[in-house]
């Protein structure tokens, strides 16, 4: 009984420690510059490309079916 509780306790401490180290590091992995999506004169080129892609997905039935097929296989 004591060994099981000790394993659970040590595992919990390790998980908490790993989380406190790992979560602050996420900002370095997923960093993107705000100017990629917004400029002073309106939308950036990246934002326009994303919007065009979504409009294309909504308006072309063949493309919708291909994307749905990809999502279902994943």
Q: Where are the domains of the chain?
A: 1-32, 44-74
Give the pair of three-digit tokens for residue 4.
Answer: 């099981």
What digits encode the pLDDT tens for the residues 2-52?
898 999 999 999 999 999 999 888 888 877 776 666 677 777 788 888 899
pLDDT at 13: 96
pLDDT at 9: 94
pLDDT at 11: 94
The string of DSSP letters for 4-70 reads: HHHHHHHHHHHHHHHHHHHHHHHHHHS---GGGTEETTEE-HHHHHHHHHHHHHHH-HHHHHHHHHH
């Amino acid at each position: 009984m004591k060994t099981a509780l000790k394993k659970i306790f040590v595992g919990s401490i390790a998980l908490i420690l790993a989380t406190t180290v790992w979560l602050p590091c996420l900002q370095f992995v997923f960093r993107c510059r705000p100017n990629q999506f917004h400029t002073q004169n309106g939308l950036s080129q990246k934002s326009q490309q994303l919007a065009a892609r979504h409009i294309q997905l909504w308006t072309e039935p063949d493309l919708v079916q291909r994307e749905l097929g990809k999502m279902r296989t994943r």
